[in-house]
Amino acid sequence: MWGWVVVAAERTISGPCRAWPQDSVFIREVLDRIGDKWSVLVISTLGAAPLRYSDLMASVPGISQRMLTVTLKGLERDGLLTRTAFPEVPPRVVYELTDLGRSLLSAVMALASWAAVHHGEVAENRRVHDDVGVGRRKAG
């Protein structure tokens, strides 16, 4: 009786993940936080100066009160911003980037700038792809 042995092709591992530890879940969690659209917009908005909650809400178009609150709590938990509550009537709460948050600012601003410059091109590519499936290549 003949037996067959199947040998899998050797895989090429590339990209930044290959340098990360086997258990890189935490790195992905950090990337989820800092790559989230609302986090990018909040961090880039706070880059200019500390802001009150209501001013931050007005400065980030489209964000709901709930999403702003969730985003701010997550960024505070990760040490990217501080929340300072002043004992006044009415209460005043100010959010400000920490040193860690400021260290992220240039990367976040680059990402936001890229999106602003290329949003029209991406929108057109989506439209064309939805219409005709352009961008898919057949192997061969």
CA R_g for the chain: 22
Q: State the CB neighbour count (10 A cutoff) for residue 57.
A: 16
Q: Where are the domains of the chain?
A: 23-124
Measured CA to CA, the distance from residue 24 to residue 18 in angstroms comes to: 10
Alpha helices in the chain (DSSP H): 25-35, 37-46, 53-59, 65-77, 99-132
Q: In CATH, what number does 23-124 get?
A: 1.10.10.10
Contact 39, 68 (CB under 8 A): no
User: Lowest mean pLDDT: which of 7-11, 98-102, 112-116, 118-122?
Assistant: 7-11
* Residue matched to tokens 């802001």: 51
Provide mean pLDDT across the span 10-34. Answer: 78
DSSP code of 24? -
At 136 the pLDDT is: 64
Measured CA to CA, the distance from residue 43 to residue 75 in angstroms comes to: 9
**Per-residue tokens: 16:** 């930044």
Instruction: Answer yes or no: is pLDDT of 113 > 60.
Output: yes
Provide mean pLDDT across the span 56-68. Answer: 96
Q: List Cβ neighbours of 79 (8 Å cut-off, separation of 6 or more).
A: 98, 100, 101
Contact 94, 102 (CB under 8 A): no
Question: In the structure, what pLDDT confidence band is assigned to residue 30 with cuts at 50, 70 and 90?
Answer: confident
Question: In the structure, what pLDDT confidence band is assigned to residue 98 with cuts at 50, 70 and 90?
Answer: very high
